[in-house]
Amino acid sequence: MRFEAIRPGAAKIHASLRPGEAQNMTTSKGARAAIYIRISTGDQNPDLQRNELPEYCERRGWRLVDVYEDHMSGTRDKRLNLDRLIADARRGKFDVVVVWRFDRFARSTSHLLRALEEFHSLEVDFVSVTEAIDTSTPAGKMVFTVLGAVAELERSIIRERVIAGQRAAKRRGVRFGRPSVDVDVDQVSKFRKSGLSWRAIAAETGLAKDTLRRAVEV
């Protein structure tokens, strides 16, 4: 599932609001802020996030404590600095995480929801500047709830498709699970009686020790 970006101008308008002028922005002045930036190889203007996000924090009256920046595709599972940000959130290093937009931060809706749920449990707010989302506000909490419902629907649809596919495959005679392994129980028993260890028998037969044990003990 892809995130739909809001027109770029919306971020400028939102960022230009001073803390006292913005409506429903409840994260307090003086809060400790962390910025997460992801820059992919196709970004034409990598300085956009670097410039706009600190300025946004300044206008909100937040104290910037750290900037976490990754340079990679959004589909990569491991991101060194995103992992460091999550670890620092667990240590209570900051009060709010600020990103340019959802797809700069999360790989998918489900990944976003997992991160937001953890931030919520840690009492860390999350702000997406372009989408004008702040989880400390009533409107932000509502968006969080909607995203949760969408993610659950997505999981349900995938689960239903998997089950339907398995049923169709079973009707065609497809068997699921690991293929069965033929074990010569008599031979294995003779090896054991001759004093060979399970490791030696496994090396001799080319089968796993646990497989040999299960076959003999049945």
What SS3 state is found at 19?
coil
197 is an active site residue = no
- Considering the domain architecture, whether residues 23 and 105 belong to the same structural domain is answered as yes
pLDDT digits (tens, 9 = 90+) for 124-178: 999 999 888 898 888 887 877 777 777 777 778 888 888 888 888 888 877 766 6
Start-to-end CA distance of the chain, whole Å, equals: 48
DSSP annotation string for 177-207: SSPP----HHHHHHHHHTT--HHHHHHHHTS
Same domain, 189 and 145: no
Kindly state the tokens that stand for 189.
Answer: 């028993």
Element (H, E) at 215: helix 209-217
Report whether pLDDT(50) > 70: yes
Tell me the residue length of the chain.
218
pLDDT of residue 176: 67
Residue finishing a domain among 107, 130, 151: 151
Please give the DSSP secondary-structure letter assigned to residue 150: H
Residue 135 and residue 211 in one domain: no
Asked whether 45 and 160 are in contact (CB, 8 A), the reply is no
Q: Are 21 and 52 in contact (CB under 8 A)?
A: no
Q: Which of 28, 40, 110, 136 is catalytic?
A: 40
Rounded Cα distance, 67 and 72, in Å: 16
Residue 32 sits in a domain whose CATH number is 3.40.50.1390
Q: Which of these, 58, 65, 71, lies nearest to 91 by C-alpha position?
A: 65
Q: Please state the domain count of the chain.
A: 2
Q: What is the per-residue pLDDT for 206?
A: 81
**The whole model's pTM is what?**
0.58
Answer yes or no: is 173 within a domain: no
Segments forming the whole domain that contains residue 194: 185-217
Q: Are residues 40 and 144 in the same domain?
A: yes
What band does 87 get if pLDDT is binned at 50, 70 and 90? very high
Comparing 44 with 20, the larger pLDDT belongs to: 44
Return the SS3 of 160.
helix
Q: Is residue 213 part of a domain?
A: yes
Q: How far is CA 196 from CA 186, 202, 204, in A?
A: 14, 10, 10
**Dihedral Cα 29, 79, 143, 100, nearest 10 deg:** 60
Q: How far is CA 146 from the centre of its chain?
A: 18
How does residue 84 score in pLDDT terms, banded at 50, 70 and 90?
Answer: very high
